[in-house]
Amino acid sequence: MPATEYFPQEPQGPRLVTSFPGPLTTSSLHSLDSIFDTNAAYMICDYESSIGNYIADVDGNVYLDLYAQIASIALGYNNPALVEIARSKEMVDAIVNRPALGNFPSKNYENYLRQGLLSVAPVGLDKIWTCMSGSDANETAFKAAFMYHRKQQRNGDDVIFSDAERESTMLNSAPGSPDLAILSFEKGFHGRLFGSLSTTRSNPIHKLDIPAFKWPKAPFPALKYPLDQHEEFNRTEEDACLLELDKVLEIWHDRVSAAIIEPIQSEGGDNHATPYFFQKVRAITRKHNVLLIVDEVQTGVAATGTFWAHDQWQLTDPPDIVTFSKKFQAAGYYYGNPDLRPSKPFRQFNTWCGDPAKALIARVIAHEVVSKNLVAQARRVGDYMYEKLSCLQSKYPNCMENLRGKHRGTFIAWDSPSVESRNKFLLDMKAVGVNIGGCGARSVRLRPALVFEERHVNVFLYALEEVFSRL
C-alpha cells in the first residue's frame, strides 16, 4: 500500500533547521536528565509532528526514520487507522477501566484476541498468553517451560504438591525450586529482566553487576555473507554448532527445560543462519525432550518478508512457544500444547496479564498488515533496497562490509570497519536527516516501518552516499 494513502501530508524528504543535536533537544535532554535517566537518549521527539516514515524532534528537524523505535512502529507515525481506534469507545473503556485480566477479564477480551493477535498466530499455535513487554514474554515463556517439565516428571500432575516441595520452595531450594535451566545461544538477546538476562549474551553492559542463573549457552553460527556464495563454509560452520548444541544438552548438569533462539540475532549484530540450521535445532531439541522457544520479539510481524520470520524455516514440527512484542505494540507468547498451561490458578499471573488497550492496537495492526498486504510490500521493498545497497557496497567497500538480509524483507544490516566508525556513521546520518540504528559490535541495522516504500529507499540511499563519499 502506498504510504501516500495513509499519509498524504508525509514529507518528500528530511528537513533540517538545526545541526544535530539541536539546541532545544540539548537543553530539554539536560532538563529531563534531572529527573529521568537520559544516558541512552538520542533526541527529544515531537511525536505530534511526526508522520508516516518521518520522525520530528523539538527543534523542528524532520528525519527519515529507519529505526522506528527499535523496530516497534509497524504502520508509521500517527497512522490514521490507529488514531481511529485510539479515539473509540472501546479504547476509552479499556484505558479507564483497565482490568486485572487474570481475575477480572473484560467481556470483550476474547474477541480482541481472536480478531487480532490470534488471527495471525504462527502455524500450529492456537493459544496465547499476554503480558507487558518482550522481556516479560520471554520470562513467562520460561515459567511455562519449567512448570511443563515438572508436570511431566509428576506423570502429568501439577495439582498436588508434596510438603517437601511447598516448604523448600519458600527457601529457594529443591525440590520445590528445582535446578532447571534455559539454554540460549551465543550473542543472543532476550531481554533485560532477571531471568531473560541470564539468556542474553549480546553485550556485557546489559548484564554487569546483575546476579545470573548458571544456565548454558550454545554457539550460534558465524556465517559468511552473502550466504549463497559461501554455502560450503556455512554448512560446515552450522554443523559444528549443531554438534556442540547436541553435546551441551547431553551433558549439562541441570535439566534443560527449553532452548530459546532468535530467527535473526538482532541486538547481537543481525546474525543469520540458514533454514537447515533451524530445522536441525528443532530436531535436536525434540531428541532431548527440550522445548523450543522462538523469540520473534524483533523479527515478528512482517518485516522479514513473511509474517513470522520462522515461517522461512519450513518446519514440519512447529516451535513449542513463539514470543512476540514490538511491532504489535503488545506482548506475550503463542503455544499449542494445552499442557503448557498450568492447572492451578496464580501460577502464571500478575496484576495486568497484558492490556486490552494494547490488544486493541494489535488487532488494528494485524488487520492493516493483512488487508494492505504489507508482508508482500516489505518483501518487495526489501529486495529493492538490498539490490541498491549491494551496488553501494561494491562502490564503497571500506564503508560497508558483510551486507546481509537478502530476501529477508527490510531486515537488512551490514558491518562498519570498527565500532568507532559505526558510531560516527550513525551521527553523520542524523546530520543529513536519517535516523538509523546500530547493533552488535559494529553493525548497522535497518528497521523501517512496514509502510516504507521504494521512494523512501531512494531518499535513504541519497543520504547514505552523501555520507560515504565524505569518508
Known active-site residue 233: no
Domain boundary among 321, 354, 387: 354
H or E element: which one contains 367?
helix 356-371
Report pLDDT for 281: 98
Tell me which of 27-41, 153-167, 199-213, 214-228 is least confident: 153-167
Instruction: Count the Cβ atoms, other than its own, within 10 Å of residue 8.
Output: 11
Tell me, yes or no, whether 83 lies in a domain. no
Looking at 7, 20, 185, 189, which residue is catalytic?
A: 189
Both 65 and 121 in a single domain? Answer: no
Instruction: Give the pLDDT band of residue 155 (cuts 50, 70, 90).
Output: confident
Looking at 126, 228, 317, 351, which residue is catalytic?
A: 351
Summarised one tens digit per residue, pLDDT across range 197-213 is 999 999 999 999 999 99
Residue 449 neighbours by CB under 8 Å, 6+ apart:
52, 53, 65, 68, 73, 74, 75, 76
Looking at 187, 280, 326, 372, which residue is catalytic?
A: 326
- What pTM does this model have? 0.97
Both 245 and 142 in a single domain? Answer: yes
> Domain of 216: which CATH number?
3.40.640.10
Report how far Cα 260 is from the mean position of its chain's Cα atoms: 13
Q: How many structural domains does the chain have? A: 2
H or E element: which one contains 256?
strand 255-261
Known active-site residue 136: no
Helix/strand/coil for 438: strand
Tell me, yes or no, whether 87 lies in a domain. no
Per the structure, the complete domain to which residue 337 belongs is given by 99-354
Both 24 and 121 in a single domain? Answer: no
Both 137 and 204 in a single domain? Answer: yes
Looking at 246, 295, 320, 355, which residue is catalytic?
A: 295
With a cut of 70, say whether residue 394 has pLDDT above it: yes
Known active-site residue 351: yes
> Domain of 397: which CATH number?
3.90.1150.10
Both 269 and 240 in a single domain? Answer: yes
